[in-house]
Amino acid sequence: MTLEDLKKTIMEKLSLAPPLGARMKFDCGPDGLIMLDGTKSPPELSTEDGEAETTLICTADTLRGIAQGSIDPTLAYMTGNLKIEGSMGYALKLAGILSE
């Protein structure tokens, strides 16, 4: 699954949820990044870097698993496979959306 496929999966889940109200970044290291602008309705996703209230740092495989529901985001965080910089509240809100 490419970052473009991952963006589509994330967007499908976001389209069913209330607005996040924040900008978030998924930093997948050498695999690239995805910026989520949850201040807009509908939310916008891009691969361009920018400012974010919360940054989630993980491998593309971990993000893929979270988005597909095969990896629990809380467990990924507790085992060190997911790191969070910034607002934990927004991260938890997003985790709830992606887990559905």
Q: What is the dihedral of CA 19, 41, 36, 99, to 10 degrees?
A: 40
Number of domains in the chain: 1
DSSP conformation class of 55: E
pLDDT per residue rounded down to tens, the chain (100 residues): 788 899 999 999 998 888 899 999 999 999 999 999 999 988 999 999 999 999 999 999 999 999 999 999 999 999 999 999 999 999 999 988 888 7
Measured between alpha carbons, how far apart are the two ends of the chain, in Å?
20
Domain extent for 26: 3-99
Give the three-class secondary structure for 64: helix
Q: Distance (Å, rounded) from C-alpha 31 to C-alpha 2?
A: 9
Look up the CATH number of the domain holding residue 34: 3.30.1050.10
